[in-house]
Amino acid sequence: MSQTTPTPHDPECVFCRIATGEIPATIVAQDDHAIAFRDLEPQAPLHVLVIPRAHYQDVGALAHGDPDALVAVTRLAAQVAADENGGQFRFVFNSGPQAHQSVFHAHGHVIGGRDMTWPPG
């Protein structure tokens, strides 16, 4: 079951540590609720991760626990895509191990800068 109560900061979570500045990252945008930073292993010319500042396990938990934060994450993703790729992007949330979620802090991948194929994989 997904965690729906936010943990302001999980000291074991790499994304929480990025959000607080403990771990350096290339930040491209941020606001009071979300932060966007470049993926270390980009899969496209534009590949940015957008996370809520509060710790939620996955996007379902975020949507249930703080829909306003999910809106903020989505808004920041659109801003990054507008700033870096003319507003064109794919926004992907992997939720759970079978979907290849590897960091269990809700995060969306802003992917663009090349033609996207369908189905995605």
- Evaluated on CA atoms 120, 107, 95, 43, the torsion sign reads positive
Please give the model's pTM, rounded to 2 decimal places: 0.92
- Evaluated on CA atoms 10, 15, 20, 24, the torsion sign reads positive
Is 43 inside a domain boundary? yes
Q: Which domain holds residue 97?
A: 32-112
Of the candidates 55, 105, 107, 109, the residue annotated as catalytic is 107
Q: Would residue 33 show up in a list of annotated catalytic residues for this protein?
A: no
What is the CA 56 to chain-centroid distance, rounded? Answer: 11
Is 120 inside a domain boundary? no
Is 54 inside a domain boundary? yes
Is 13 inside a domain boundary? no
CA angle in degrees (0–180, nearest 5) for 59-7-18: 75
Is 5 inside a domain boundary? no
Q: Quick one: pLDDT at residue 5?
A: 56
Is 18 inside a domain boundary? no
> Any idea what the CATH number is for the domain that residue 69 is in?
3.30.428.10
Is 72 inside a domain boundary? yes
Is 97 inside a domain boundary? yes
Are 85 and 113 contacting, i.e. CB atoms less than 8 angstroms apart?
A: yes
Task: Quickly count: other Cβ atoms within 10 Å of residue 114's Cβ.
Answer: 11
Are 94 and 46 contacting, i.e. CB atoms less than 8 angstroms apart?
A: no
Per-position pLDDT tens, the chain of length 121: 455 555 677 889 999 999 999 999 999 999 999 999 999 999 999 999 999 999 999 999 999 999 999 999 999 999 999 999 999 999 999 999 999 999 999 999 999 999 999 887 6
DSSP string, 56-76: -SSHHHHHHH-HHHHHHHHHH
At 94, the amino acid letter reads: N
Number of folded domains that form the chain:
1
